[in-house]
């Protein structure tokens, strides 16, 4: 009897080897030729280290003869054996590609066959990648939250969602392995969240690791560095006792006593502050010891003053705020009355404007009858103070000339005139009221447009 190898094939996803074996017949002495195939599932012949595997043989062509297997050439993975019944099983402890032959004999069959086979063992050890977004920012007294995402990868490099274990029964936790959390902040070992309400400004550097328990084995990531920066509460600057707010232009009366206290509030615990001013308007003085501004504004125009507020925190760090204060200083103004009763429409009592020069786009509009004398008298001056003296003057509107039919009494302010016969025309008129107060002069300009009917 003889044995003859016919073919070796890997086919339909199976490890397959087909050979010819010969077996003796019954009493007649005839010889039977067996066409033998040995198959192992490819999936069964692939495993992971530290995970049990088992592959059962699939024989065809033995015609009822019982096979027996031993390892021919090559090596099996450590922890894996080939049994006499041809079952490959065990728990591999090392990864790699293992090629070997299965030596097959059978009861009642002469000769033997060798079938080439292979086992692939992969290492499923998770790769933990912690990725920090950088530093988390917060303000003392306000909630803060810093979240660390984690990527978990394992062959075939499948990216797993954040915080999701890669297999049933896995556990994932986080630990802060370095650094100190700011006061009022806590670290959540389940979600890697840093949260709370910080009470002290400053920067804290943190070292964080992830620990994964996967199939009974523990894996720890490399540490990642992140930080929490707690910014100080921004102090508040205010001015009390004076009629305006920082960074906002506000009207303040001319040569009227002013007393303003510049204050800083909303400071963090242990912080201290100081206030200084730049460009104090004429007539005012600033006392740095009390941060008080006193005096009387001497100029009747838009005036600026810079304020510098310096804050030093408990840890020695400092910051500054520099608001700008604006004032409009206003000289006294007069009302005007139609003493002659000839205005067609005076819209009640007209007030003067305080910005000079005031051009067309006037404060008021009135209609007068042509060729009918008019008289306009100044009325009450609400902002007058004891000792004030006043004088009046007609002022040409920029780009125009004074009307030759109007006159004004400099002492009383009475305006008189005879409008020309020019129906449908108009005349812009400006009157300056000048006030002498405590040796200083200030003026307010009143403008209106006269329409001739």
Instruction: State residue 342's pLDDT score.
Output: 53
Its CATH architecture, for the domain 335-452, is Sandwich (2.60)
Average pLDDT, the chain: 77
pLDDT tens digit sequence for 411-423 = 988 888 888 877 7
Instruction: State residue 164's pLDDT score.
Output: 52
> Which residues, in sequence order, are bridge partners of residue 230?
138, 202
What are the residue boundaries of the structural domains of the chain, listed by start?
4-122, 127-231, 236-330, 335-452
* Phi, psi angle pair for 135, to nearest 5°: -90, 145
Residue 315 or residue 352, greater confidence: 315
- pLDDT band for 71, please (50, 70, 90 cuts): very high
Instruction: State residue 45's pLDDT score.
Output: 93
- pLDDT band for 159, please (50, 70, 90 cuts): very low
**Whole-prediction pTM value?**
0.46
Calpha distance 365→100 (Å, rounded): 111
CA 308 to chain CA centroid, Å, is 28
Calpha distance 307→326 (Å, rounded): 11
* Phi, psi angle pair for 251, to nearest 5°: -75, 135
DSSP-assigned letters across all residues of 299-314: --SEEEEEEEEEEE-T
Task: Over range 269-277, report the average pLDDT.
Answer: 87
- pLDDT band for 165, please (50, 70, 90 cuts): low
36: closest CA among 54, 49, 23, 52?
23
Calpha distance 307→286 (Å, rounded): 11
Query: Does 295 have pLDDT greater than 80?
Result: yes
pLDDT tens digit sequence for 81-133 = 999 999 999 999 888 999 999 999 999 888 889 999 999 998 776 677 777 66
Residue 55 or residue 226, greater confidence: 55
Query: Does 444 have pLDDT greater than 90?
Result: no
Question: Does the structural domain 4-122 have CATH classification 3.40.50.2300?
Answer: no
Task: Over range 15-42, report the average pLDDT.
Answer: 65
pLDDT tens digit sequence for 5-18 = 333 332 222 333 34
* Phi, psi angle pair for 299, to nearest 5°: -110, 145
Query: Does 60 have pLDDT greater than 60?
Result: yes
- pLDDT band for 25, please (50, 70, 90 cuts): low
Instruction: State residue 359's pLDDT score.
Output: 31
Instruction: State residue 392's pLDDT score.
Output: 93
Calpha distance 74→388 (Å, rounded): 119
SS3 of residue 374 by DSSP: strand
Neighbouring C-beta atoms of residue 193, cutoff 10 Å: 15
Query: Does 162 have pLDDT greater than 60?
Result: no
Who contacts 398 (Cβ-Cβ below 8 Å, separation ≥6)?
Answer: 357, 359
Calpha distance 142→140 (Å, rounded): 6
Instruction: State residue 160's pLDDT score.
Output: 42
Superfamily per CATH, domain 127-231: Immunoglobulins (2.60.40.10)
CATH tag, 236-330: 2.60.40.10
Of 20-24, 358-362, 376-380, least confident by mean pLDDT is 358-362
Instruction: State residue 245's pLDDT score.
Output: 40
Task: Over range 369-390, report the average pLDDT.
Answer: 82
Query: Does 62 have pLDDT greater than 50?
Result: yes
Residue 318 or residue 151, greater confidence: 318
| Whether 441 contacts 434, CB under 8 Å | yes
Best-predicted range by mean pLDDT among 23-32, 57-66, 267-276? 57-66
| Whether 298 contacts 255, CB under 8 Å | yes
Task: Over range 46-70, report the average pLDDT.
Answer: 91
127-231 shares its CATH topology with 335-452: yes
Terminal CA-to-CA distance of the chain, rounded, Å? 143
Instruction: State residue 59's pLDDT score.
Output: 93
Query: Does 353 have pLDDT greater than 60?
Result: no
pLDDT tens digit sequence for 329-352 = 778 877 766 666 555 444 333 333
* Phi, psi angle pair for 37, to nearest 5°: -120, 135
Q: Residue 29: which region, alpha, beta or left (left: phi > 0; alpha: psi -120 to 50)?
A: left
Who contacts 271 (Cβ-Cβ below 8 Å, separation ≥6)?
Answer: 232, 235, 311, 312, 313, 314
């Amino acid at each position: 009897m003889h044995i003859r190898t016919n073919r070796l094939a890997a086919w339909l996803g199976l490890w397959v080897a087909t050979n010819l074996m010969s077996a003796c017949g019954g009493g007649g002495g005839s010889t039977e030729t067996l066409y033998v195939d040995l198959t192992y599932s490819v999936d069964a012949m692939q495993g992971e280290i530290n995970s049990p595997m088992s592959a059962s043989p699939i024989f065809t062509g033995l015609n009822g003869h019982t096979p027996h297997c031993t390892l021919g050439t090559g090596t099996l993975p450590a922890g894996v054996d080939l049994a006499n019944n041809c079952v490959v099983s065990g728990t591999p402890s090392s990864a790699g590609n293992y090629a070997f032959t299965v030596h097959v004999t059978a009861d009642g069959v002469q000769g033997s066959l060798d079938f080439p086979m292979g086992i692939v063992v992969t290492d499923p050890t998770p790769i933990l990648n912690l990725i920090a977004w950088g530093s988390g920012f917060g303000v003392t007294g306000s909630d803060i939250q810093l979240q660390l995402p984690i990527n978990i990868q394992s062959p075939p490099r499948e990216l797993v969602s954040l915080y999701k274990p890669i297999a049933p029964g896995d556990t994932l936790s986080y630990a802060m392995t370095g650094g100190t959390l700011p006061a009022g902040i806590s670290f959540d070992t389940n979600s890697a969240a840093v949260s709370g309400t910080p009470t002290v400004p400053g920067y804290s550097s943190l070292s964080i690791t992830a620990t994964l328990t996967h199939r009974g084995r523990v894996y720890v990531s490399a540490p990642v560095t992140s930080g929490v920066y707690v910014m100080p509460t921004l102090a508040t600057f205010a001015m009390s006792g004076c009629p305006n707010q920082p960074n906002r232009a506000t009207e303040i009366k001319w040569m009227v006593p002013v007393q303003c206290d510049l204050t800083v509030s909303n400071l963090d615990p242990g912080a201290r502050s100081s206030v200084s001013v730049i460009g104090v308007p004429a007539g005012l003085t600033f006392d740095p010891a009390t941060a008080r501004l006193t005096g009387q504004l001497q100029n009747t125009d838009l005036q600026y003053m810079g304020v510098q507020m310096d804050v030093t925190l408990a840890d020695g760090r400092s910051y500054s705020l520099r608001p700008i204060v604006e004032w409009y200083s206003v000289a006294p103004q007069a009302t005007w009355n139609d003493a002659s009763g000839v205005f067609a429409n005076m819209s009640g009592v007209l007030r003067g404007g305080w910005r000079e020069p005031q051009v067309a786009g006037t404060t008021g509009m009135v209609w007068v009858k042509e060729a009918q004398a008019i008289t306009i008298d100044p009325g009450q001056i609400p902002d007058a103070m004891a000792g004030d003296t006043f004088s009046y003057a007609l002022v040409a509107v920029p780009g125009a000339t004074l009307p030759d039919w109007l006159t004004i009494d400099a002492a009383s302010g009475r305006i008189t005139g005879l409008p020309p016969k020019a129906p449908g025309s108009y005349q812009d008129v400006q009157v300056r009221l000048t006030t002498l107060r405590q040796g200083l002069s200030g003026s307010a300009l009143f403008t209106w447009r006269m329409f001739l009917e």
